Chain A
Amino acid sequence: QTVVTQEPSFSVSPGGTVTLTCGLSSGSVSNSNLPTWYQQTPGQAPRTLIYNTNTRSSGVPDRFSGSILGNKAALTITGAQADDESDYYCVLYMGSGLWVFGGGTKLTVL
């Protein structure tokens, strides 16, 4: 079974830049996987940040950006703010209507 991998945790200083990644246990992530990134704070539903690799969802500030870096999808936060401290999940489309979520990255801003 395909596993989508993310860093369990990451920390960034206020104002700093951080890149979170989303990979596959076997193979490379490409645009055809429609990489999508969500932000989730405790007790809340996820919020879509980036979809289809690099398209920002409505209302998402431009300090959030998405890309493919090497064989993984990446979410970069530029100028991190305190309220960016959240869990970040990616999801990949595996074809035939199937989606697989990553394990999530807990981002600390300190």
Chain B
Amino acid sequence: QLQLQESGPGLVKPSETLSLTCTVSGGSINSGTSYWDWIRQPPGKRLEWIGTTHYSGSTYYNPSLKSRVTISVDMSKSQFSLKLSSVTAADTAVYYCARHIGGTGNFSWGQGTLATVSS
């Protein structure tokens, strides 16, 4: 059974870069049909899709975040990562990594990790 586990610092200073990693187990990160996602949820607010990557290197980003986001895959470690630059308090959120099968919205979710932006 696919399991996804987020990891990374829980506290980031304003203007710095938030870096999170998702470790994939129980499934192959280089599956051609799997797409790897980052989604976030600020406290008390709606879910927000951040972006998606595929092992082939294809990436897709939320236009509102595109200038600050990089998502990449490390197949050797069965991990994919999120980097969000120039963070502000508005980036404080629970960050989820997820997987969806191409052509479906059936996301499988990690448990989520809270990242707080504060000095």
A: residues with CB less than 8 A from B are 1, 34-36, 38, 45-48, 51-52, 55, 57, 89, 91, 93, 96-104
Contacting pair A104 B106 (CB below 8 A): no
User: What residues on B are CB-neighbors of A35 within 8 Å?
Assistant: 105
Within 8 A of A (CB), among B38-71: 39, 46-49, 52, 58, 60, 62-64
Give the distance in Å from the alpha carbon of A43 to the alpha carbon of B14 in the complex: 25
Q: From B23-31, B73-81, B85-93, B109-117, give the one contacting chain A.
A: B109-117
Chain B interface residue count, Cβ-Cβ cutoff 8 angstroms: 23
User: What residues on A are CB-neighbors of B110 within 8 Å?
Assistant: 45
Contact check: which of A1, A36, A52, A104 meets B107 at CB < 8 Å?
Answer: A36
B: residues with CB less than 8 A from A are 37, 39, 46-49, 52, 58, 60, 62-64, 96, 103-112
User: What residues on B are CB-neighbors of A93 within 8 Å?
Assistant: 105
- Give, as a whole number of angstroms, the nearest-CB distance from B89 to chain A: 21
**Main secondary structure on A side of the interface with B:** strand
Contact check: which of A45, A89, A98, A103 meets B111 at CB < 8 Å?
Answer: A45
Give the distance in Å from the alpha carbon of A82 to the alpha carbon of B37 in the complex: 32
- Give, as a whole number of angstroms, the nearest-CB distance from B54 to chain A: 9
Give the distance in Å from the alpha carbon of A1 to the alpha carbon of B64 in the complex: 9
